Amino acid sequence: MRSGLLLAVLLLVGCATTQPIVHGDIPGHTCVTESTANFIGEEGTSATGAAIMRATHAAVLRWAPPGYMMTMDFRADRVTVRLGPDGKVTAINCG
């Protein structure tokens, strides 16, 4: 009985001292697309993706090839790179 009560108290204390869970946006990252026009027409490669992430200050990169289904949820820390059928960047937007 005593060990069960001790276990319950420890579990409650553990819950009380945890950090709040942040769903979605990663703190310190907000996507901005003002300086991304120069990427339009570039090949959709990992190097291009890394450069787009640096330019937009995004924490998450999402590739969107033609016909690709995407969620409609908005994330301020995510950049979406749309690709044409030839694999080249056609549009870049946040969210």
**What is the DSSP code (8-state) at residue 43?**
B
pTM here? 0.71
Spatial contact of 38 and 51, defined as CB atoms under 8 Å apart: no
Burial 73-95 (b: 16+ CB within 10 A, else e): eebebbbbbbbeeeeebeebebb
pLDDT per residue as tens digits for the range 26-70: 777 889 999 999 999 999 999 999 999 999 999 999 999 999 999
- Per-residue tokens: 33: 């697309």
pLDDT per residue as tens digits for the range 10-20: 444 445 444 44
> What CATH number labels 24-94?
3.30.10.10
